Amino acid sequence: MSLNAVQISEFRAFADTLADAAADAIAPHFRAALTVEDKGGRLYDPVTVADKAAEHAMRELIQERYPEHGILGEEHGEARGSSPLTWVLDPIDGTRAFITGLPLWGTLIALNDGKRPVLGMMNQPYTGERFIGTGDAAWLGERRLHTRACADLGAATLMCTTPDMFDTPARKAAFERVAGKARLLRYGGDCYAYCMLASGFVDVIVEASLQPYDVQALMPIIEGAGGVITAWDGGTAQHGGCVVACGDPALHAQVLELLRSAQ
């Protein structure tokens, strides 16, 4: 389903409404005492009342305004719609940072047209930053975002949320091949790291074990700022899994060669 400029503008304004509602639901819980549950799995996977309340608030607004649209959310699953359009939601990407009081988290909101995410937003209400991308442009507030030129991995800043996300020896080894050549490696960041790549402060991100709601909102932001984000095999990143993002397309090609053998 192809969206025109008027439709994109309408949905962008609605994404602002969703982000505001999520922020209101989250605000009372950040840097406050709260119960943390573990979803279980290979890694510690925390969830809080803030995650659940924020997603619930967004889903209610979508179902009221666009009942024909689908919804895919981290906390409350998938609701299929009659339209090809699907809202993809992660109410708090970076819950581990959230529960430790660090502001390296955000609310992720994407609109997928049935083929790819065409609108993405990362809202960090505590710092007052709202990153928006439409694939052909990206903004922080009213400021246009641009990735920086860096074609040499030896001069690059690499980020990854945690090395524990590489769930096979081959994937871990592939990441280490990239990390061993980078000038600087920093862990942490979750969605915030991707927005720093779009802002020109990070050059490459290599991650694995991602879900669609972890990455779809970030794709239009990075692409709109001039970067590239794909799966490790060069295909679409929208399904999650193993993902690589680079600010410079030449760097992306270089990093991809180091990662392909792990697929």
Q: Which helix or strand (DSSP H or E) is residue 92 part of?
A: strand 86-93
Residues 16 and 135 in one domain: yes
State which residues form the domain around 123: 5-144
Q: Residue 214 annotated as binding?
A: yes
| Each residue's pLDDT tens digit, 191-232 | 999 999 999 999 999 999 999 999 999 999 999 999 999 999
| pLDDT tens profile 228-247 | 999 999 999 999 999 999 99
The CATH number covering residue 157 comes to 3.40.190.80
To the question of whether residue 93 is assigned a binding role by annotation, the answer is yes
Q: What is the CATH number of the domain that holds 131?
A: 3.30.540.10
Identify the sign of the CA torsion 182, 187, 190, 192.
negative
249 in the same domain as 228: yes
185 and 245 part of one domain: yes
Check whether 113 is labelled as a binding-site residue.
no
| pLDDT < 50: residue spans in the chain | none
Which residues have C-beta within 8 Å of that of residue 114, sequence separation ≥ 6? 1, 84, 85, 86
